[in-house]
Amino acid sequence: ALAAVPGPVPGVTRRMLFDYAGEPWRARYSQLVLAPGTQVPAHVTSAMTDLFVLSGEIRAGDEAAGSGCYVTIDADTELTLSSRYGARVLAWADGPARWRDGTARGDLYGW
């Protein structure tokens, strides 16, 4: 029953679903809501990251993913995320991401 908090970039809110800190397998499981027109700057994943689009549509890099689509992002992958009309996404991240532009902001996936 955690409240959604503003994400690290405008237009993104994040609700932590489960934080595996202190467990043998460390990961973050969260829900991201992207407002219409959201542009998430380029970031690089440090570990496998999975996205499941519950509703709406996102662009992960150059690929579109709509409702019911599953996106697997390998470790050390650079990508941007965006949503033209808004989306609700479940995100499982096995490691933190780093922002490509070097700007100090929180982790997109909740690390």
Q: Among residues 92, 94, 97, which one has the least CA distance to residue 16?
A: 92
pLDDT tens digits, residue range 40-71? 999 999 999 999 999 999 999 999 999 999 99
Whether the predicted model's global pTM rises above the 0.85 cut: yes
Rg (CA), the chain: 13
Is 1's pLDDT higher than 70? no
Per-residue pLDDT band for 85 (boundaries 50, 70, 90) equals very high
Q: How far is Cα 43 from Cα 81, in angstroms, rounded to an integer?
A: 9
As to burial, measured by CB atoms within 10 angstroms (0-12 exposed, 13-18 middle, 19+ buried), residue 62 is: exposed
